[in-house]
Amino acid sequence: MAAGTAVIGEMTVNKIDGILIFSEGNSDLSDAVRVAAARYKERRGQKATHCGVPLGSVEAETVLHGIRLIPQKEVSTGYLLIGVEAGNG
């Protein structure tokens, strides 16, 4: 596991069925998403396609590293909800 990265739990929120990742000290969103995607693949054995990010992290839904980033009020600062579209995992 990457230093400063912890899996908090598994859940489904809005469009995403995935795992909640705490990314301590990783202020660069691109790096945080890359690390979270690697942890998801390690844990679930498949490639992540969607990522819930805290409001304000991105202005609107966008794609980074082939993963759709979706701003969500349910995701707190310092966390990412990484996974697949709900119903497709």
pLDDT score recorded for residue 31: 92
Per cent of the chain over pLDDT 70 is: 79
Give residue-wise pLDDT tens across range 60-75: 999 999 999 999 999 9
Q: What is the DSSP letter of 83?
A: E
- pLDDT, tens digit, for every residue of 32-62? 999 999 999 999 999 999 999 999 999 999 9
DSSP H or E stretch at residue 81: strand 79-85
Sheet containing strand 5-13, edge to edge, reads 5-13, 16-23, 79-85, 50-54, 67-72, 62-64
Query: Which secondary structure element, helix H or strand E, spans residue 37, and what is its range?
Result: helix 29-44
Angle at 33 between CA 24 and CA 48, to 5 degrees: 125
Q: How far apart are CA 89 and CA 87, in angstroms?
A: 6
pTM > 0.85: no
DSSP 3-state of 34: helix
